[in-house]
Amino acid sequence: MPQESHEAVSLGNNLPTTHTETAVMAATEKTLGNSAQVDVIEPKPPKTERKSVRFWLVFVSLCLSSFTANLNATILTTVIPEIVRDINAGSNFIWINASFSIAAAAIQPLCGQLANIYGRRYPMLLSLLIFTLGSGISGGATTLAMLIGGRTVQGLGAGGIILLLEVIVSDLVPQRERGQYLGVVLSTGSLAVLVGPIIGGALGTAGAWRWCFYISVPIGGLGFILATIFLRLKAPQHDIWTKAVARIDFVGNAIFIASTSSILVGLVLGGQVFPWASFHVIVPIVLGAVGWLLFAAHQMSSLAKEPTMPPRLFSNRTAVIGFVNNFITAMLLEWTAYYLPYYFQTLRGSTQIFSSVQILPFNIFIIPSAIVNGVILSKTGKYKPLHWAGFGFLALATGLFSTLDEHTSTVKWVFWQIFGALGLGGIILSILPAIQSSLPEGDVAAATGVHAFLRSFGFVWGFTIPSLVFSNEVSRNLYLIDDPEVRAIIATDAFAQGQGPLLKTLTGETRDQTIKLYTVCLQTVWYTALAFSLFGFLLVFPEKSIPLRETVDTQYGLQEDGATTATDDQKK
């Protein structure tokens, strides 16, 4: 997998440029009429063209789709107890959200390949239909099995939507302009993530948790109608439908989906349902890892006529570094969004609702930061400074987070959250253009599929790794608590006890010792995040500064009225 390609990335500046990178850079130099090294080319301001009304209508449909797909990632956060009670979910409630996340992540590379074969329009319409169907099934669920099935269908649709949003934007605007347009689309999705728990909590309080799902039906339906009318994109035409079907990498996709699902199942079960050392956790993770090795071998073999993840995507260091840093960024985003509220709930004694208010500085600033950095990328055409600044701010923020304790002033933790938001905002939108700049336009869908998958996969690890670090630190530092009874209670489930009433019932020296334990454990969690931030910062050095293309050279753009697309035979 891409994150396993670290050994191919050296931190020196003397690495040779690969064939793909050389070709892209040479073409760029020829276009600009400059024989100097690409690193010293001064990008000119992009020449923007006036966008048509149809373009903006398509753009609105993409924003609606982004909102509804991302809303369902967090809307159940505050309403899960009501759902568990009404459908008697019991301890298996964990699969209500896990089924959605697993399906969304595993399907994305396949969606990227389908977008290459059939064009972007039909996979997007199909994804919207599947998502809307899953929303209806979930809303009408009367049993846990039915709800998990509905959430799985929802996840399949959402995974396709989230991937295709980026692919379509990449087809509609040049690389120099993609940052600002992706910023608006993805910020719409980020807004949905932020308001999801609020909407879910309000619906749960009103006893209408089913509308957490039903609400997506009219929004998804409107997005589907707009896309049907206005999302008319160029697409390859096949004389015989079997030619298109034959291009699908059925074997590769089957191996990838099965192995990815296996790994994610193990990660979901670990530490929440079974101990990490349990065979229930180890077996699916190992099987998934073996499956990934088989998938990699299949993609490089002659059996894969049109691979889902062509090996050429990983043939140059700029793309590989982009994939790795994309994974790290997604992981640290989830890491911060999860463990900042936990700090307030444990060391500050905040409720779940109030802790969500206390992390508003982070949530409020990350969206405008991403948009501003998208505009900067469009104006300058340079992504490396944004990557350095982003990981630099992120390292500063995670380092400062490691000093958080029960006495940290409000001014400090507010500004430290802003530093973290500025850091992540500088990276989120600038990595994909960097990856795409080092690859031909024909690889946009496949590269974006890998990018989207690694982002979803990074979110899972953004909870898993800090949880492992936290649990290990608890075991190492339990000696800090003298009271054997309190020590035994915390040893059973330290993470849950930190959010529960235990800390509020303790007094005197025992309370001080327990607070000290959680402070030390959280400190190590943030030290680990700091290490990943610094690693991402160092990886920016060997990136190549490749100028972002100012024109769109794709066969998948907006279809002009009366235009036709060549068939397979006409192309020969």
The rounded mean pLDDT for the chain is 83
- pLDDT of 262 over the 90 cut: yes
Beta bridge partners of 274: 270
**Strand extents, DSSP E, 100-149:** none
Q: Name the residue with tokens 């496949």.
A: 446
Q: Which two tokens stand for residue 392?
A: 């630099």
Mean pLDDT over residues 67-96, rounded?
A: 81
Closest by alpha carbon to 56, among 206, 195, 179, 169?
Answer: 169
pLDDT in tens, 207-237: 888 998 999 899 888 888 888 888 888 877 7
- What are 107's two structure tokens? 């399907």
Confirm if 125 and 131 have CB atoms less than 8 A apart: no
> Would you put residue 552 in left (φ > 0), alpha (ψ -120 to 50) or beta?
beta
Mean pLDDT on 21-28: 41
Q: pLDDT digit string (tens) for 455-502?
A: 888 888 888 899 889 988 998 999 898 888 888 888 887 887 877 778
Tracing tokens 């948009």 back to the chain, one arrives at 371
Q: Above pLDDT 90, what percent of the chain?
A: 31
Contact residues for 316 (Cβ-Cβ < 8 A; gap 6+): 17, 18, 19, 20, 21, 438, 439, 544
Residues 6+ apart with CB under 8 A from 128: 65, 157, 161, 220, 223, 224, 227
Residue bearing the bigger pLDDT, 289 or 90: 289
The pLDDT, as a whole number, for residue 569 is 44
Average of per-residue pLDDT across 329-350: 89
Contacts of 502 (CB under 8 A, 6+ apart): 486, 489, 490, 514
Q: Is 481 or 92 the better-scoring residue by pLDDT?
A: 481
Number of CB atoms found within 10 A of residue 565's CB? 15
Residue in the block written with tokens 């068939």: 567
172 and 552 in contact (C-beta within 8 Å)?
Answer: yes
Give all strands (DSSP E) within 86-171, no chain letters: none
pLDDT at 531 over 90: yes
Extract the tokens encoding 163: 């991937």
SS3 341: helix
Q: Three-state SS string across 166-228, please?
A: HHHHHHHCCHHHHHHHHHHHHHHHHHHHHHHHHHHHHHHHCCCCCHHHHCHHHHHHHHHHHHH
Q: How close are the terminal C-alpha atoms of the chain, in Å?
A: 35
What is the Cα gyration radius of the chain? 24
* 442 closest CA partner among 161, 186, 138, 115: 115
| 158 has pLDDT over 70 | yes
Please give the residue that has the higher pLDDT: either 457 or 35: 457
On the question of pLDDT at 556 being above 60, the answer is yes
By the 8 A CB rule, do 62 and 34 touch? no
